[in-house]
Amino acid sequence: MVDITHKATTLRTAVAQAVVKVSKIETIQAIENDTVPKGNVFAMSKAAGLLGVKRTPDILPDCHPLPIEFTSVEYQVNGLEITVVFTVKTIYKTGVEVEAMHGASVVALNMYDMLKPIDKGIEIHAIKLLEKKGGKSDFRDRFRKDLKAAVVVCSDTISAGHKEDKAGKAIIEKLESCDVKISDYIIIPDEIDDIQKQAKQFQEQGIDMVIYTGGTGLSARDVTPEALIPLLDRRIPGIEEAIRNYGQDRTPFSMLSRSVAGTIKDTLILALPGSTNGAKESMDAIFPAVLHSFRILKGARHD
């Protein structure tokens, strides 16, 4: 199956339909009057759909098992056609589009099975997804496309040429995937004056965000938070919490990181871990959602 361990958990909703077309009005009347020999068609088919949606990963090999936290089945009768509208919700890392379509198709198949003794001309068609919500694609159009970022690697060993930077490059890769332009990429030692100088300089240049990697641990030379916090106009605790919560689900050591998020005027300042995995996971935890902050900084109303 596709690896979804890097994805963040969000509310996911999908609505699908299937259309059952009978061949005579007497069939519709039998359903509405509850005189179908095999029982109540709407109730039995709904039950079949609820069971079916839960078994989707058992039928389709690439579907992830996930918690189905809400389902609903609605019927719309129009002439000889019965439209099944099937809704599924979950709070998880991946969507429920296939689950909703599977549920709608099982409802339709059960209706077919119950009605075939009294109607040999039944058809099932128009199984399709009507709507989906949740995940980063649902929010992509809300982000500005003209943002610029500077990436600052804080490391004595890397700045001295004793080690190759991988964390900074991982951050750049994520930024580029979110359509953020890289205005600068530098490596500096773990010195408070150097760290502060870069933050002030990039803010004065109008850079939208400055992302530091390294110096957020507990060693004596880890001074990035001490350098940046006095410069911040406002902290953004929610970003810091999201980074650590996401990381803690993947390693028990994430709680030891002192990641920092805040603003200097309209510039977003982030201080992330210096390890490659720590930097990458931190970016996965908050991007692209963190880009919404620039709409708020510019005075846009919350949706």
Catalytic annotation, pick one of 34, 113, 193, 303 = 113
Rg of the chain on CA atoms, in Å:
27
C-beta separation of 237 from 229 below 8 A = no
CA 26 to CA 143: how far, in whole Å? 54
Contacts for 13 with CB less than 8 Å, ≥ 6 apart: 87, 88, 89, 96, 131, 132, 133, 134
DSSP 9: P
What SS3 state is found at 74? strand
Secondary-structure breakdown of the chain: helix, strand, coil percentages, each rounded to the nearest 5: 40, 25, 35
CA 106 to CA 130: how far, in whole Å? 17
C-beta separation of 240 from 208 below 8 A = no
Known catalytic residue: 113?
A: yes
CA 245 to CA 65: how far, in whole Å? 23
C-beta separation of 25 from 135 below 8 A = no
Mind telling me the catalytic residues?
113
